[in-house]
Amino acid sequence: MAFTFALEANCSELYHAWIAIYRIIFVLIPHPNAVIVAGHAICTEVRDPWREENWILLPFQRGEVACYIGHIQAGVRAAVADPDALLVFAGGCSRAEAGPRSEAQSYFWIADHLGWFGHPEVRARAITEEFSRDSYENLLYSICRVREYAGAYPRHVSFVSWAFKQERFHLHRRTIRWPAARFTFLGPNNPPDLAQAVAAEDRNRAAYEADPYSSSPAFRAKRDARNPFRRSAGYLLVCPELQGLVAHEGPELYSETLPWDN
């Protein structure tokens, strides 16, 4: 609490003292790996997740439900293959029609209902990140969530999403300067209408290339639309060293020190 007040007061001496202490702690705490599964939609009845009627879907998402479950399964399998990994389901309460349910919760409970695809032991290492509103936040907020849960940033990140979005997530990785050697992209499938998806992705990726920190009014409006319950992430309370990165608007890369630089 005292540190929070110091930040608000812009007390540089206390801030830099905290950073020095943090760097010592950061070296001593074991670093888990992370398997992050990006959410795409909300399921309202996890006891029967295969039925489209049990999901809140946009028109273009029709026919994709089995693929979402494939993403969940891919995340569980990646966590099985890496006993040191936390499994993070990412995605916020993005649809008013769903009520205060998050994409991340949907994926967690679907995995639970399906018995963790034969690996119930993974449940003890599965957590949710429930504030991200787009792909950039899926990555950055999930890294913060690991820091919040485990006390340290992950050593390695494996990220599960659509195969056709691989380039976008490598762009996000470069934007936050996450090391390439500590990142693996897993794309288990593509949507049924791949041509439509790729055409939309070309536009979306171009927007991120022009505005990598998604700070434009258009990106802000999209995130606001995906936050109907006006929830706010509090990750800077546990990741104060990311304050500069979160505030950075680009388009040039953030140049200050980051915890994962070394």
Q: In what order do the strands lie in the sheet with 126-129?
A: 126-129, 85-90, 33-38, 157-160, 183-186
Closest to 107 in 3D by CA, of 84, 81, 130, 79 = 130
pLDDT class for 28, splitting at 50, 70, 90? very low
If pLDDT is split at 50, 70 and 90, which confidence band does 14 have?
A: low
Predicted pLDDT at 31: 75
Question: Which alpha helices (H) appear in the chain, and where do they start and end?
Answer: 2-8, 12-28, 65-81, 103-113, 135-150, 166-175, 194-210, 217-225, 243-247
Q: Tell me if the domain spanning 32-247 has CATH number 3.40.50.620.
A: yes
Tens digits of residue pLDDT in 81-135: 999 899 999 999 999 999 999 999 999 999 999 999 999 999 999 999 999 999 9
Q: What is the pTM of this model?
A: 0.88
Q: Which helix (H) or strand (E) holds 233?
A: none
Integer Cα distance of 193 and 17 in angstroms? 53
Amino acid 24: pLDDT = 43
186-202: per-residue pLDDT in tens? Answer: 999 999 999 999 999 99
DSSP labels for 67-92? Answer: HHHHHHHHHHHHHHH-TTEEEEEE--
Q: Check pLDDT > 70 for residue 248.
A: yes
Residues 6+ apart with CB under 8 A from 120: none
Other Cβ atoms closer than 10 A to 24: 9
State whether residue 160 is helix, strand or coil: strand
| CA angle (15 as vertex; 136, 130 as ends), nearest 5 | 30
* CA 214/CA 221 separation, integer angstroms: 10
The structural domains of the chain, with segments of one domain joined by +, span 32-247
Using a pLDDT cut of 90, give the percent of the chain over it. Answer: 87
**CA of 213: how far to CAs of 113, 119, 235, in Å?**
36, 37, 17
Structure confidence by residue, pLDDT tens digits, 203-239: 999 999 999 999 999 999 999 999 999 999 999 999 9
